[in-house]
Amino acid sequence: MLSNPYIGGLVTKLFRSDQPIICRLVDGSLIKEPSMPTSTYVSPTRVDNLNTDALKVRVFAVDKRRKPSHAERKKKLEEEIRLLESGVAVLKTRGLPPQLLLQKDPLLRPVAVEFSTLMYSINTQQLRVAKMQSALSQCLTDQQYYPLYSHIKLTKDWKERRGTLLAMRDQKIRNALNFVMGPGGINDAMKKQSSQNQFENEEGDLCCVLFDTIQFPGVKSLQQVYDALSFYKNNMEIIITEQLGHITIREDYDEVNEAAFHTRILSTNEDGITTEGNVVSFRAMLSDGYNGEPCAVMVGDSVDEDDKYPYLSHRYVRKDISTAVVLTENRNTGEKSDVVVTMRRAAFYKVRRPEFPVTFCELENLRDATTQWSDVMLKTIRGILYPTKTNN
């Protein structure tokens, strides 16, 4: 028997299987209540019948960042303190010489040591590069090592002389194009550049290695610049005499079908010293010479041995050259698509040490005049292309 003050009104639900049984406790006995009629209706709000697609679930982001520890906060504060101290030190030492600066600000000492170590490493690397450049430059201390040079010997027979010139023509032009436009020498066609190295070799000869890039903007065509350069080559002795005041004459001139040229030039300067040059030259307009684009090539080289016109070193100062000029055409990228012809020029000049007595000043004048002819050539071309403009 169960004793309970609330027995009369207690209703207990007993669940068997999935159907509830309702009983009432009356006078200590369980009396089954009549079961309620069941319904096939299923409430949409029952948990086991909820449509998950109809639910709108709100997901709250959980901040999983770990809070900094005491050691980390301490480290951050120490960094801020160092920054503040450095700022104060900079204000106190502003305008002081470097030595006093290090004495007043101890915080800069480790930085200065690190900076000095870095600068020492940089200087060491630069010194190594300079030594390598010096070693490479030794390859150009004489003309025979210059890429444009080749040994040339001409006999007395005219037929043999012309045959020799024609035989070397194609190879000379190809070598000049490869040397000037090759990967080691190519540069920006739209920027002016110039390099010049003058030195004296072991024999006392005055030498100069020259390479420059010059632009002629606003011209009509590549052919126009080529014609201007050819005009200078054909009238060189007259132009040199007018521009420099050096009496210059051609003692011999031989042209082989406009494909090969040979000339012997004598030029007397203001000191009365005469230089002699024996040069062969070649010219060509190539329709697809450089990267499939048209270009013009002019190359010249000195004759080493000439049985018909031997060098008179006891009377004249011998001047040797190995030169190449390559002309290419480009378009200006500005608002006006003007034609710009770029001239790349490479040269090796050598004035042999005189075999007769000369004064120091006379020798220095010969040195200064080493590249004067190349300057006159450039001035002449500009005068032809820009007749109404002032030449610089």
How far is residue 25's CA from residue 11's CA, in Å, rounded to a whole number? 7
How far is residue 165's CA from residue 9's CA, in Å, rounded to a whole number? 135
In a domain, residue 374? The reply is: yes
The pair of structure tokens assigned to 375 is 């300057």
Q: How is residue 325 annotated by DSSP?
A: E
How far is residue 208's CA from residue 141's CA, in Å, rounded to a whole number? 9
Query: Would strands 19-26 and 11-16 be described as parallel, antiparallel, or unpaired?
Result: antiparallel
pLDDT for the residue 34: 56
Statement to judge: residues 127 and 190 lie in one domain: no
Statement to judge: residues 292 and 355 lie in one domain: yes
How far is residue 338's CA from residue 217's CA, in Å, rounded to a whole number? 7
Range of the domain at 108: 89-139
Question: How many domains does the chain divide into?
Answer: 3
Statement to judge: residues 151 and 19 lie in one domain: no
- H-helix or E-strand containing 14? strand 11-16
Statement to judge: residues 150 and 244 lie in one domain: yes
In a domain, residue 313? The reply is: yes
Statement to judge: residues 117 and 150 lie in one domain: no
In tens, the pLDDT along 350-369 reads: 999 999 999 999 999 998 88
How far is residue 239's CA from residue 376's CA, in Å, rounded to a whole number? 8
Residue 268 DSSP SS3? strand
In a domain, residue 253? The reply is: yes
Rg (CA), the chain: 47
Domain boundary among 76, 104, 139: 139
The CATH number of the domain holding residue 206 is 3.30.530.20
Dihedral sign from CA coordinates of 28, 32, 36, 41: positive
Statement to judge: residues 241 and 334 lie in one domain: yes
Question: Strand ranges (DSSP E) for 174-304?
Answer: 193-200, 206-217, 247-256, 260-268, 274-290, 293-302
Statement to judge: residues 125 and 163 lie in one domain: no
Statement to judge: residues 126 and 158 lie in one domain: no
In a domain, residue 56? The reply is: no
Domain boundary among 122, 139, 156: 139
In a domain, residue 60? The reply is: no
What residue spans of the chain are helical by DSSP H?
A: 70-93, 98-104, 108-137, 158-181, 222-234, 236-244, 360-368, 372-385
In a domain, residue 344? The reply is: yes
Statement to judge: residues 168 and 313 lie in one domain: yes
Statement to judge: residues 367 and 269 lie in one domain: yes
Q: What is the pLDDT along the chain (392 residues), one digit of tens a residue?
A: 444 444 444 444 444 445 555 555 555 565 655 555 554 544 554 545 545 554 454 545 555 566 678 888 888 888 888 888 777 767 766 666 666 666 666 666 777 777 778 888 888 888 787 767 666 555 555 656 788 899 999 999 989 999 999 999 999 999 999 888 876 555 677 788 888 888 888 888 999 999 999 999 999 999 999 999 999 999 999 999 999 999 999 887 788 877 899 999 999 999 999 999 999 999 999 988 777 789 999 999 999 999 999 999 999 999 999 999 999 998 776 656 688 999 999 999 999 999 999 999 999 999 888 888 999 999 999 999 998 754 54
In a domain, residue 28? The reply is: yes
Domain boundary among 77, 109, 139: 139
Statement to judge: residues 114 and 153 lie in one domain: no
Statement to judge: residues 29 and 102 lie in one domain: no
Half-sphere exposure for 90 (CA within 13 Å, toward CB):
6
